[in-house]
Amino acid sequence: MNKQQASLFSCAYQALMTPEPLAKKAIIDATAIEWEQEQLTLEPVTVERVSKPGRPQKPALVPPRELVKRKISTVEGRAVIVHAVAHIEFNAMNLALDALYRFQEMPIDYYHDWLLVCIEEAYHCSLMLERLEQLGFQYGDFPAHNGLWEMAVQTDHSLLDRMGMVPRVFEARGLDVTPGMIKRFNGAQDHETVSRLEIILHDEIGHVAIGNRWFEYACKQAGVEVIPTFQKLLHKYMQGQVRGPFHTEARLEAGFSQHEMDILEAM
């Protein structure tokens, strides 16, 4: 295929199915340059269900209850958490790529937005992989879980469901828990990890905002109200259960309304 005539969707699929994190990042970065230079088309491609995206043989994927826990006062304890964040960012890369590839009849701003998310998630993953190596470990040295991608598969039939659940529930959860991680790493005097987590927290507010924007778009297209529809999705996919506490300031900055936050607190 002549790369100058390639479709953005085919490039996204190629990156999605590439196993190694840094190789995946390289394809994303090259795609972003080609997109910026208007070398890619929006020619549709056949959309496949991706039950398993490209990923390395390790880490082993286990239920969340089987994940290892260590004291953050030890190097290994800090590495376990860094590894978990690296895995989340690796999955986030795949989620953003799938959002690009799967929904092929959207306004062009949608593709600008989700390619930006791809670029930043790839950068976040590389930051945490680098930090993991500095601590003496590699990606795959600890087990991980697959909950993020499982939700991607469950919502692959619907833009509304995908935008409602992945950015507004799973990525927004990152806004809630990252400040606590930053506090713990500061307590362990690991300021290098803190600086990387602060970058991630800043950028993830923008990612949740993008999810909010396109969820509202999908609701408008479907002729439904945002808040009741979000509540229905929470009951459909999460049995109405949401985990707190919430980082309300960050969620408000990302586009949640105070009314929504009050509803989530009540749930």
182-221 pLDDT tens trace: 999 999 999 999 999 999 999 999 999 999 999 999 999 9
Residue 28 has pLDDT above 90, yes or no: yes
> Minimum mean pLDDT among 1-15, 196-210, 231-245: which range?
1-15
What is the reported pLDDT for 4?
A: 55
Give the C-alpha separation, 29 to 93, whole Å. Answer: 12
- Digit-coded pLDDT (tens) for 51-78: 999 999 999 988 877 777 778 989 999 9
Give the C-alpha separation, 51 to 176, whole Å. Answer: 28
- The CATH number assigned to the domain with range 3-266 reads 1.20.1260
Question: Mean pLDDT, the chain, as a whole number?
Answer: 94
Which class for 203: exposed (0-12), middle (13-18), buried (19 or more C-beta within 10 A)?
middle
What is the reported pLDDT for 2?
A: 45
DSSP string, 223-263: T--HHHHHHHHHHHHHTT-------HHHHHHTT--HHHHHH
What is the reported pLDDT for 215?
A: 98
Helix or strand (DSSP H, E) at 178: helix 172-187
Task: Count the neighbouring beta carbons within 10 Å of the beta carbon of residue 77.
Answer: 16
Angstrom CA distances, 49 to 43, 88, 101, 153, 157, stand at 19, 21, 11, 8, 9
Residues 6+ apart with CB under 8 A from 159: 103, 106, 214, 218
Give the residue-averaged pLDDT of 129-137: 98
How far is Cα of residue 115 from the mean position of the Cα atoms in its chain? Answer: 12
Q: Where are the domains of the chain?
A: 3-266
Task: Count the neighbouring beta carbons within 10 Å of the beta carbon of residue 95.
Answer: 27
Give the C-alpha separation, 5 to 224, whole Å. Answer: 38
Kindly report the pTM of this predicted structure.
Answer: 0.94
